[in-house]
């Protein structure tokens, strides 16, 4: 299998800056791999690809098949890492209009997401859309008391029980939760839901490679064996201590070089609509991991070429406080060729015989040149093709780089104390005792 490539030749940095950070990257590597760094209670993701429960993994595949035989729709209930990872993979590796395809053309049940906001309108619309369809639920929460998914689960569980009766409804509800404790674990044991375990030592934003992400991904018909093989190969490749041979560590290094040169914003850029949600997952991964103690790069995104017509001006001529990390796909799976027209009214005949991927690639190259000329550093991560294997490796690439980068930054990359502030105020305003 081909490797992920990392190109920092347009980073607008000097060789000595790269060399300066090498010892810091190696110190972070030692902290991470020795388990002596802050947040070491949440390092389960680091070696998960080579140590996960194989029996549970096989049960995920069996359950996914069961869901697909029984249901038209799987609703995934969760927030943050409990849904971002699975939606990222499903969007990237499925048909662009997956849920709109007829059943015989889909690889699995339709996938809808709930519990990632507090909108009565959205839930009402979801209830309406599933009225005439067969439904299963996958509720994902370590505690079972997080407000957004707890509300959604209460409402959707009631709807399922009204539709099927309590006995059949329990066989359509699958809980991914803590192995031993928490409100959802208690309820699952009491009601008899089939359950999968969120490892206690894996934080939500790193959980896509656990049952949290794997069950919905498998239901969507994506090859989770290939995905996990990519993750496992990433675990091996990105433990390389020769930084010049480790693109993951090079990425972590260059982020810190640019941060120390005064860059405050990292923009994750893609050129494929199916990759758009990768940035949502990546934003949580880096935002929650690094935004502490007044430090951290602000992670944001651009979906190109779409956003070149809205945010391109800001990138080109705005304040020089940002850099771009472009994730590009070397080989696309589908393409179209532009044909010659008798009347060249739209002025596109010069592209006759060219593939859309060729046009898109040159849009990427032209944009990179323009932004670098405008003094915006560009880093480029290239995956050979958009398949389960390489996408699994990409997920691990970003997770490993995040742990390394956070330690270089001097923060605990595995906690998120600031998340609790809004909850305390919300609960006070709602009158929670």
202-229 CB burial, b ≥16 within 10 A, e <16: bbbbbbbbbbbbbbbbbbbbbbbebbbb
Peptide bond preceding 305: is omega within 30 degrees of 0, i.e. cis? yes
Contact 30, 275 (CB under 8 A): no
Separation between Cα atoms, residue 233 and residue 3, nearest integer Å? 10
CB distance 49 to 234 below 8 Å: yes
- Catalytic pick from 5, 65, 158, 423? 423
Residues 6 or more apart whose Cβ sits within 8 Å of residue 321? 262, 263, 264, 265
Quick one: tokens of 172? 């359509």
Residues 6+ apart with CB under 8 A from 117: 79, 148
Catalytic residue status for 423? yes
Closest to 218 (Cα-Cα) out of 396, 96, 103, 86: 86
Half-sphere exposure of 175 (CA within 13 A, CB side): 30
Residue from 235, 237, 272, 288 carrying the catalytic annotation: 288
d(CA 111, CA 432): 33
DSSP 305: T
Q: Cα(193)–Cα(172) distance, rounded to whole angstroms? A: 8
Catalytic positions are 288, 423
């Amino acid at each position: 299998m081909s490797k992920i490539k990392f190109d920092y030749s347009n980073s607008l940095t000097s060789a000595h800056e790269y060399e300066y950070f090498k010892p810091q990257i190696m110190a972070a590597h030692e902290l991470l791999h020795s388990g002596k760094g802050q947040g070491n209670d949440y390092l389960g993701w680091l070696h998960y690809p080579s140590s996960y429960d194989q029996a549970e993994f096989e049960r995920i595949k069996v359950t996914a098949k069961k869901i697909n035989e029984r249901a038209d729709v799987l609703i995934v209930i969760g927030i943050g890492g409990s849904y971002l990872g699975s939606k990222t993979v499903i969007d990237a590796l499925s048909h662009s209009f997956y849920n709109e395809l007829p059943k015989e053309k889909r690889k699995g049940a339709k996938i809808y997401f709930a519990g990632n906001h507090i909108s009565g309108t959205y839930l009402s619309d979801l209830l309406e859309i599933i009225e005439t369809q067969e439904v299963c639920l996958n509720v994902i929460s370590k505690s079972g008391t997080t407000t957004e998914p707890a509300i959604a689960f209460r409402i959707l569980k009631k709807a399922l029980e009204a539709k099927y009766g309590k006995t059949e409804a329990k066989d359509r509800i699958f809980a991914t939760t803590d192995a031993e404790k928490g409100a959802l674990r208690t309820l699952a044991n009491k009601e008899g839901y089939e359950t999968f375990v969120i490892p206690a030592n894996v934080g939500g934003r790193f959980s896509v490679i656990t049952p949290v992400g794997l069950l919905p991904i498998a239901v969507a018909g994506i090859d989770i064996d290939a995905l996990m093989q990519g993750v496992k190969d990433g675990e091996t490749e990105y433990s390389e201590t020769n930084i010049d041979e480790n693109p993951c560590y090079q990425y972590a290094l260059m982020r810190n070089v640019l941060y120390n040169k005064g860059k405050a914003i990292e923009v994750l850029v893609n050129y494929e609509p199916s990759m758009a949600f990768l940035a949502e997952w990546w934003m949580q991964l880096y935002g929650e991991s690094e935004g502490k103690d007044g430090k951290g790069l602000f992670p944001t995104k651009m979906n190109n070429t779409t956003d070149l017509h809205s945010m391109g001006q800001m990138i080109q001529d705005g304040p020089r406080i940002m850099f771009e990390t472009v994730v590009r796909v070397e080989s696309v799976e589908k393409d179209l060729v532009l044909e010659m027209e008798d009347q060249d009214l739209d002025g596109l005949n010069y592209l006759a015989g060219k593939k859309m991927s060729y046009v898109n690639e040159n849009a990427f190259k032209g944009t990179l040149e323009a932004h670098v000329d405008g003094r915006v550093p560009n880093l480029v991560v290239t995956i050979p093709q958009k398949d389960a294997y390489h996408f699994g490796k990409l997920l691990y690439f970003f997770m490993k780089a995040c742990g390394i980068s956070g330690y270089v930054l001097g923060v605990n990359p595995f906690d998120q104390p600031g998340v609790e502030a809004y909850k305390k105020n919300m609960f006070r305003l709602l009158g929670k005792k």
